[in-house]
Amino acid sequence: MTESKLSAAVATPDHVPASLVYDFDYYHDPALCADPHMRVMDLLKSAPPIFWTPRNNGHWVLAGHSANFEAARDVEAFSSEIFPRDQMAELLAQLEETMGRIPLAVPINLDPPMHTKYRQPLQKVFSPKTINALSGSIRALAVELIDEIVDKGQCEFMTAMAEPLPVQVFLKMLGLPLERLAEYRELVSEHLSSVDSSNAILTMQKVVAAMRDTIIERRDNPQDDILSMLWKVEIDGAPVSLEDMENYAILLFIAGLDTVMQGMGHGFRHLALNPDLQDELRAEPEKIKQASEEMLRRYTFTVPPRRVSRDMEFQGVSMKKDERALLYLPAADLDAREFAEPDSFNMSRERAHIAFNAGPHRCLGSHLARVELQIVYEEFLARMPKFKLDPKRPPTFHGGHVLGVDTLHLVWEV
């Protein structure tokens, strides 16, 4: 990363005191891209718990745990509708004139009560009960992927495990044809490289186009899958439309694949760096559940955006209507005011983290993510010998709304 990749710094608004300004480009900060959570630890030491950065058009960053916890639960003050509703409608109408229909990741980008109406139908499908029933087939998929690499002595973990497993689970749950796995993996990789760029809309349209046939087919011939189930729900007393279905499909695609994938990436890098922890978990696999939970806290990786909905004082900081604020959850879960010795990996912590956010936007897929992560840790540790980072190819990372792992080369003896 070079200085030139940083976005231009804009002038600080008058109501923001100099003491709250801290220069942080959440996409391209060089230290963040070199080792994300190391930089997050440093951020907590060197920046105020709520600060203003002049990068990326200027915005607030909520770094402290208390700021994140309060803002995440105060959905009236901190809106998930990143543009006010009328502006958004205008913007969409303009874009759609040239681009055609643009799918929206409903309801992640809506405030209650609309959020509740669109989220309610999804709750049962992603409840712990429904998800636990899938664990057998998730385990079988994980074992299959591990069998393919176990004799090779090395792998690039992201492409060998972290990406294909969630994609296959996604296809299975939605009822999408497994023989099109390659096509969907291609779309995921396109999504990852276009995310937050102007190509992102085109990718979303391609994803919807890839699913449309199956979506329509399930309306006419329902089966035992999510798409068929969603056709049966009503939103506000009206049956779902094809557009609603496409929006749901996009939500599940962008929220369900990139995220759990990065969780695995961070977790396996930690394991590769800590052979003693590998030994401990191999000897006592019943500890993996707690280990998996502590990985989520230690390497919280999502950064949800919010819009300040009115002029207000928030925890002593004056904010103005329509300013942007990032819930910097990776920092919240590494805040020493909340978690003693936050950078140490401690499986016996009982205090709950907010890796899946707090408040009504709590990650809908959290139960699925937990099951996928736990199973991958269990099966990988049970089937693989001690693994470490490939000294010749150190891992690479990225910033943005999901702190992620680009590549993670692992080696082991065969």
The answer to whether residue 30 forms part of the interface with another protein (CB under 8 A) is no
The minimum distance between CB 83 and another protein, in angstroms, equals 25
The minimum distance between CB 132 and another protein, in angstroms, equals 10
Distance between CA atoms of residues 234 and 121, nearest Å? 8
The answer to whether residue 367 forms part of the interface with another protein (CB under 8 A) is yes
Quick one: which of 5, 362, 383, 386 contacts another protein (CB under 8 A)? 362
If the CB atoms of residues 59 and 119 are measured against another protein, the closer one turns out to be 119
Q: Which helix (H) or strand (E) holds 5?
A: none
Beta bridge partners of 325: 60, 306
Distance (Å) of CA 44 to CA 9, 23, 63, 315, 331? 21, 13, 7, 17, 7
> Near another protein by CB under 8 A, which window of 52-60, 195-203, 215-223, 360-368?
360-368
**Interface with another protein: number of residues (CB under 8 A):** 20
Structure tokens given for 357:
């956010």
If the CB atoms of residues 47 and 71 are measured against another protein, the closer one turns out to be 71
Quick one: which of 14, 76, 350, 413 contacts another protein (CB under 8 A)? 350
The answer to whether residue 352 forms part of the interface with another protein (CB under 8 A) is yes
> Near another protein by CB under 8 A, which window of 85-93, 145-153, 220-228, 357-365?
357-365
Is the separation of the CB atoms in 361 and 108 below 8 Å?
yes
User: How many residues are listed for the chain in this entry?
Assistant: 414
Structure-token match 């309610």, residue found:
120
If the CB atoms of residues 126 and 397 are measured against another protein, the closer one turns out to be 126
> Near another protein by CB under 8 A, which window of 24-32, 99-107, 124-132, 309-317?
124-132
The answer to whether residue 306 forms part of the interface with another protein (CB under 8 A) is no
Distance between CA atoms of residues 143 and 376, nearest Å? 8
Distance of CA 384 to the CA centre of its chain: 27
Quick one: which of 109, 366, 371, 379 contacts another protein (CB under 8 A)? 366
Quick one: which of 31, 73, 199, 205 contacts another protein (CB under 8 A)? 73
Neighbours of 211 (CB within 10 A): 24
Distance between CA atoms of residues 372 and 179, nearest Å? 22
The answer to whether residue 359 forms part of the interface with another protein (CB under 8 A) is yes
* Eight-class DSSP state of 307: E
Structure tokens given for 88:
């958004």
Structure tokens given for 164:
């294909």
Distance between CA atoms of residues 66 and 76, nearest Å? 17
- Going residue by residue from 226 to 265, which x/- string records binding to another protein, judged by CB under 8 A? ----------------------------------------
The answer to whether residue 116 forms part of the interface with another protein (CB under 8 A) is no
The answer to whether residue 351 forms part of the interface with another protein (CB under 8 A) is yes
Distance between CA atoms of residues 145 and 181, nearest Å? 14
Binding residues (CB under 8 A) for another protein: these are: 73, 120, 123-124, 126-129, 350-354, 356, 358-360, 362, 366-367
